[in-house]
């Protein structure tokens, strides 16, 4: 399947966006890492990086690897984006610097501090409901239910129409894949259906006072951004804030279901919850991969890439690179995981990371305190998505301590 020649760059004929490799990518990750720092994906005519050192370096060099041409397959310099580009994800400095400052403030740990109590109350109540039932679907009843309970309220979103958030998120993440693929096509249908509702919720008068959305608009009053920019930044919250945490939390639960000794460790010491989430992000990274676009000719290792070329960074592969981690395929919640790239790196490092960590920490802590065992009770069902790795179903039984 795969060949490397002496005369050109290493080449792979694998298709990372086919169903089989979306569902089971780890052998492909190893193959891509072993082929070299940069590999040509023959099927698509794009480059790929899968080693930690190279992914990390690329993410930290926004001047060479830009985001303003899009972080999916399409090149916005030559093709029309499927939606008005994000002012933060799909932007470079100086625009990115200005918009990032706004969301950094809105999502800072000090801004989030006042939410913790509400999150804790709801997590504790959720866990009691789970224990009453005993047999639950950890994806549906925990990983989906908890962020859906706390995140839209944190943003200040209206109660009506929240069922549109999941299909919108699904569309956003599938839109990073190949445009002729079935997932991209269904994403465009979802986006057409729920997009207008999403945009209407981004307006100032639709957002509850005191929420994160309303807080974005205080930067309009101070003159940092205009009202149209504020609406698009609220859209970023709605695009990136739900599916990512759902899959991140779900993957963490999946790790624990498959590693009961690690759950026993967390149960004995719930203060490990925050570190445990970080290790779960490394071990089962919810964001599969992102593109950048070269702004100039650049040589990495023996490979020279031209300007305006797409480069795919495999976060999950970097996070299990044996060149970086000892025993990368071991899930160990006591491991040091700084420099894992599950949240990205560099100027585009996830601006919502503090909120994601807060949600996960609060939920995992509440579960660790009350749940003695969490065991498989049926076959998990994997999510098929171009940019997200996770599950749609994880049947388990839980017992109280």
> Which residue lies nearer to ligand PQS by CB, 86 or 294?
86
Q: What ranges in 203-270 are assigned the alpha helix state H?
A: 212-221, 227-240, 243-258, 260-268
> Which residue lies nearer to ligand PQS by CB, 126 or 391?
391
> Which residue lies nearer to ligand PQS by CB, 173 or 283?
173
Candidates 212, 205, 198, 196; CA nearest to 166 is 198
Interface with ligand PQS (CB under 6 A)? 86, 88-89, 172-173, 235-236, 239-240, 244, 287, 387
Longest dimension (CA), the chain: 64
> Which residue lies nearer to ligand PQS by CB, 91 or 374?
91
> Which residue lies nearer to ligand PQS by CB, 162 or 259?
162
In the complex, what is the shortest distance from the CB of residue 348 to ligand PQS, in angstroms, rounded to a whole number?
Answer: 9
> Which residue lies nearer to ligand PQS by CB, 244 or 262?
244
DSSP state of 142: I
**Per-position DSSP letters for 47-87, written without gaps between them:** EEE-SHHHHHHHHT-TTTEESTT-SSSS-TTTS--SSSPPS
Contacts of 232 (CB under 8 A, 6+ apart): 84, 86, 87, 202
Candidates 162, 353, 156; CA nearest to 244 is 353
The distance from CA 208 to its chain's CA centroid, rounded to whole angstroms, is 26
Give the C-alpha distances (Å, rounded to integers) separating 264 from 41, 141, 191, 401.
42, 21, 42, 11
Give 39's strand partners. Answer: 48
What is the rounded distance in angstroms from the CA atom of residue 179 to the CA atom of residue 167? 18
> Which residue lies nearer to ligand PQS by CB, 214 or 232?
232
The tokens for 372 are 């003695």
Only one residue has tokens 């944190």, namely 154
> Which residue lies nearer to ligand PQS by CB, 108 or 258?
108
In the complex, what is the shortest distance from the CB of residue 229 to ligand PQS, in angstroms, rounded to a whole number?
Answer: 12
In the complex, what is the shortest distance from the CB of residue 79 to ligand PQS, in angstroms, rounded to a whole number?
Answer: 18
In the complex, what is the shortest distance from the CB of residue 112 to ligand PQS, in angstroms, rounded to a whole number?
Answer: 18
In the complex, what is the shortest distance from the CB of residue 298 to ligand PQS, in angstroms, rounded to a whole number?
Answer: 24
What is the rounded distance in angstroms from the CA atom of residue 88 to the CA atom of residue 91? 5
């Amino acid at each position: 399947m795969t060949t490397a020649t002496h005369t050109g760059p290493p080449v792979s004929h694998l298709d990372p966006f086919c169903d089989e490799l979306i569902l089971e990518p780890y052998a492909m990750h190893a193959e891509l890492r072993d082929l070299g720092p940069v590999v040509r994906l023959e099927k698509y005519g794009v480059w790929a990086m899968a080693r930690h050192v190279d992914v990390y370096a690329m993410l930290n060099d926004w001047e060479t690897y830009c985001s303003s041409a899009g972080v999916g397959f399409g090149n916005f310099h030559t093709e029309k984006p499927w939606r008005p580009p994000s002012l933060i994800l799909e932007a470079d400095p100086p625009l990115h610097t200005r918009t990032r400052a706004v969301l950094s403030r809105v999502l800072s740990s000090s801004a989030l501090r006042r939410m913790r109590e509400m999150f804790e109350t709801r997590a504790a109540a959720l866990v009691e409901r789970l224990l009453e039932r005993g047999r639950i679907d950890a994806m549906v009843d925990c990983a989906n239910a908890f962020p859906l309970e706390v995140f839209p309220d944190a943003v200040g979103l209206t109660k009506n129409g929240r069922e549109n958030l999941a299909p919108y998120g699904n569309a956003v993440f599938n839109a990073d894949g190949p445009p002729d693929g079935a997932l991209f096509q269904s994403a465009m249908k979802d986006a057409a259906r729920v997009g207008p509702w999403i945009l209407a919720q981004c307006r100032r008068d639709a957002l509850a006072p005191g929420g994160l959305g309303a807080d974005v608009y205080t930067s309009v009053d101070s003159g940092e951004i205009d009202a149209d920019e504020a609406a698009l930044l609220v859209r970023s919250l709605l695009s990136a804030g739900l599916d990512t945490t759902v899959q991140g939390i779900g993957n963490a639960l999946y790790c624990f279901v498959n590693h009961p000794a690690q759950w026993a460790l967390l149960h004995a010491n719930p203060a490990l919850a925050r570190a445990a989430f970080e290790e779960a992000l490394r071990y089962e990274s919810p964001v599969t991969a992102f593109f950048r676009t070269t702004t100039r000719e650049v040589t990495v290792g023996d490979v020279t890439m031209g300007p305006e070329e797409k480069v795919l960074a495999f976060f999950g592969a970097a996070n299990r690179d044996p060149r970086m981690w000892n025993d990368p395929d071991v899930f160990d919640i006591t491991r040091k995981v700084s420099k894992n790239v599950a949240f990205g790196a560099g100027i585009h490092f996830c601006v919502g990371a503090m909120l994601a960590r807060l949600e996960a920490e609060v939920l995992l802590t509440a579960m660790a305190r009350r749940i003695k065992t969490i065991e498989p009770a049926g076959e998990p069902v994997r999510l098929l998505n171009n940019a997200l790795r996770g599950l749609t179903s994880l049947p388990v039984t839980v017992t109280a301590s």
